[in-house]
Structure 1
Amino acid sequence: MKVVQPIRDERIIDGMKYYFRSRSMRNYLFFCLGIYSGLRVSDLLTLSVREARHNYISKVEQKNKNNKRFLVHPSIREDLDAFIAGKADDEFLFASRQKKTISQLKQQPIDRSTAYRFLNEAAKHFGLEEFGNHTLRKTWGYRLYHQDERNLPLLIDAFGHSDMRVTLRYIGLTQDLLDRATMRMR
């Protein structure tokens, strides 16, 4: 399995927001909800318009069936409201514009591979390596930890980890600490 890293540089995060916003409101909101919620891509894909109408979004995670509740970040509220205006509550927030190949169904969520493709296109544009669908979730954790290290117990719980070492490794801090320790060597 490919190891992916969080986005560590706030300037790149801001650049990616601008990059997505100037090309596709759907992709911009997908990116922003990912870095502000800590949800897995599979859970982002199944968000409904109804869930996005509120200041808090509650979601039962597909992988572990935990109930996750998160605040819609105020910086994207206005854009999100404009994006969902006129859409039916039962529509997927990130609906595909195409008919699904096998099922022939319309108005289904975009596929993981579609999300991977547009996220990786932006990552390449910004020179990011070790980038994948989990990067958004890891970026959320990395930023929350750097905001205040006392958030570590919250992250352990939010990620469903049993040990802080797992969480620190997951958000890329173990590597950061190793790199810094190596640089201090004489």
Structure 2
Amino acid sequence: MGQKMINVKPIKDKELLNQFGKELKKGKHGKRDYLVMAIGIKTGLRISDILNLKVSDVKNKIQTEIVEIKTGKKRTLHLKSLTSNIIDYLNTEHSAESEWLFPSPTDSSRQLASHQYYKILQKVADNLGLDYIGTHTLRKTFSYFFLKQNKGDIVTLMKILNHSSQAVTLRYAGIEEEDIKAKLEDFDPFK
């Protein structure tokens, strides 16, 4: 039996996002699982790019350059806000013999697979009663909060995500009819 089809969405509630992170930390590889999430939510990288990171990409660095797998484009990652999590993970949980930042638990010469991380996310999502979580939730959550914190700067977000359409980026970030309705209900240019 295959994976169930879900409509993957961002986590829009900060409290729920923090709760999700705390639940990830409780697992057998909690620091690893949380760091994968943190990188996704703080950089907007696709899961394939996160799991393709090597220790040399991030160790002792506050920024690094990667080439995105899907687009083939260079991307600079700003790691300053992740530094303490990276150091803690590398010093306590990472398998020192692996070049991969997130090695497979069964073969340290290979990286953790996206389907393995999907299962980890699904376990937490099930525990929290969430039916819209997938690996792309990380990138979509980044997009949602980026727009909120940067006053709707869709042009910059489009560049970060390598999207060619504002409509795609808005949909991607989970800016839906409910958000539009909420903004229009209180909208009055005469106030």
- TM-score by shorter chain over 0.5: yes
Q: Deviation at 1:129?
A: 1.9
Q: How does 1:102-117 map to 2 (within 5 A)?
A: 106-117=108-119
Q: Deviation at 1:89?
A: 9.0
Matched, 1:44 2:50: yes
Runs (4 or more) in structure 1 with deviation over 4 Å come to: 86-90, 181-184
Of all paired residues, the percent bearing the same amino acid is 28
TM-score normalised by L of structure 2: 0.83
Q: Secondary structure of 2:39's partner?
A: helix
Q: How many residue pairs get matched?
A: 177
> What is the match of residue 189 of structure 2?
none
Q: Deviation at 1:88?
A: 5.5
Pair 1:89–1:147, CA change in 2 (3 A): farther
Q: How does 1:130-149 map to 2 (within 5 A)?
A: 130-149=132-151
Q: Deviation at 1:52?
A: 1.4
Equivalent of 1:69 in 76, 83, 106: 76
> Which runs of no fewer than 5 residues in structure 1 stay unpaired?
100-105
CA deviation map 1:147-171 (0-9, x unaligned): 0224211111111112211110111
> Which runs of no fewer than 5 residues in structure 2 stay unpaired?
187-191
Matched, 1:157 2:159: yes
Pair 1:181–1:32, CA change in 2 (3 A): closer
- Equivalent pair of 1:61/1:67 in contact (CA under 8 Å): yes
> What is the match of residue 120 of structure 1?
122
CA deviation map 1:65-99 (0-9, x unaligned): 1111121252x422311222386597101101203
> What is the match of residue 176 of structure 1?
178
Q: Secondary structure of 1:64's partner?
A: coil
RMSD: 2.3
Q: Deviation at 1:61?
A: 0.5
